[in-house]
Amino acid sequence: MTNVVLSNVFVQIFAVGTIFTFLLNHFLEFIDLRARLRNGGKLPAELEEFPAAQVFDREKLAKISAYENAKYFLWIPDSLLGFALTLILVFSGFYPWLFNFVCRFTGFPNGFMSTYLCAFAFFVLAGIPSSILSLPFALLKEFGIEKKFGFSKMTLSLWIADQVKSFLVSVVIAAVLLAAAVGIFIVFPKSWWILLVCLLFLFSLVMQVLYPLVIAPIFNKFTPLEDGELKTKISALMENLGFKSNGIFVMDASKRSGHSNAYFGGFGKSKRIVLYDTLIKQLETDELVAVLGHELGHYKMHHIIRKFFILIPIECALMYVLFRIAQSTLIYTGFGFAFADVPVEAVQFIGLFLANLVAGSISELIMPLMSSLSRHDEYQADAFSAKLTGSPDALISGLIKLNSENLSELLPPKLYVFWNYDHPTLIERIRALKAAK
């Protein structure tokens, strides 16, 4: 029998937010489907003047719609079951039961080690139900949809190995972070919010260095780009901009997928340029240099650093709100937690978990703002690349080919883009580049 208090304000915010987010996402996905059915077979007029757009023949346009539809119809049951599971776990009293269960085996509360073991066991076990539920859908997406449309090169053994590696890496990182967080909770019970923000900021900086050097090689092989025209042009581009890196590397992405990408990894002396081998096969040299110029635009225009400085005060404000919520006994009793002779200070990790549960239910409301800021940066990076290369044509041609190879939608509805897209659509990017030209 659940002890969740339906009249509790935190429970009500969680319930309303979860239901609203569920309905909103289904509405957005439905209007996207409706737009595909109406426009999926049409080639936008903006593309007709570009020779590269010949890849969008009737067969390719139909394939794009079929790919998006397949993902949508798999998403529906995944979303429905995920929504139901979220409500069941909360309103059945699963989380209080789980907390009491792990307390019996960890001796909580009895110092740092018992608190740490209790928190670690709670967070790991709390994530198991959703992980089990998502597993068949992940398999269907990888070996059903991605295989069917020619993207996935995965074998079952490789997929399982990746899942095991991801789990182990996540557990190690979470164990270290949680140990530091629990120590902060215990030593600084009245000011842990600001120290936790500092910890997360420091963690982000450390991961910028560790990811390309330690974590990424666990999953993929990185080899230096061979000498030739491509390397010469990229090196000249970097030298012209004063961009110093630890090297230009090619990642064996084709071992797993046909999707393509390029990115900058690392921080300081560990910076490196990474090109998917699929990207090198799909684009001409000038097109690839233009796409890389876009990525360099993010660096030269300080988009990453700016995001850090924007996010720090936002994270401070958000963490303080979560801290204040975690200090209130109202959120614990509302979700069915009862602590006999245990002060609130000793269960801050539970308070933070519940506060995140409530905040996460309404986080969808800030998605348009975050997406808009991201799209703004993408426009700037496109303009930078066009100016750097002297013409937007190579970038436009490269973007058309990438859109075609990745089977991305050409005419999604504006509301869907406004809410969900962190990059402008292909048509929007071409319009902006033509206007700049």
Choosing from 295, 315, 345, 364, the catalytic residue is: 295
Cα–Cα distance measured from residue 350 to residue 124, given in angstroms and rounded to the nearest whole number:
13
Enter the tokens of residue 231: 């390397």
Cα–Cα distance measured from residue 245 to residue 235, given in angstroms and rounded to the nearest whole number:
10
Q: Is-catalytic flag, 46?
A: no
Cα–Cα distance measured from residue 53 to residue 148, given in angstroms and rounded to the nearest whole number:
24
Q: Is-catalytic flag, 382?
A: yes
Cα–Cα distance measured from residue 85 to residue 95, given in angstroms and rounded to the nearest whole number:
13
Cβ atoms of 124 and 42 within 8 Å: the answer is no
Instruction: Catalogue the E-assigned strands of 337-418.
Output: none
Cα–Cα distance measured from residue 98 to residue 121, given in angstroms and rounded to the nearest whole number:
9
Residue 351 CA: distances (Å) to CA of 87, 113, 381:
18, 19, 41
Cα–Cα distance measured from residue 186 to residue 172, given in angstroms and rounded to the nearest whole number:
21
Choosing from 382, 405, 409, 428, the catalytic residue is: 382
222 sits in which H/E element: strand 222-224
Q: What angle separates helix 393-405 from helix 285-300, to the nearest 10 degrees?
A: 100
Cβ atoms of 425 and 409 within 8 Å: the answer is yes
Alpha-carbon torsion angle 3, 349, 206, 216, nearest 10: -30
Active site residues: 295, 382
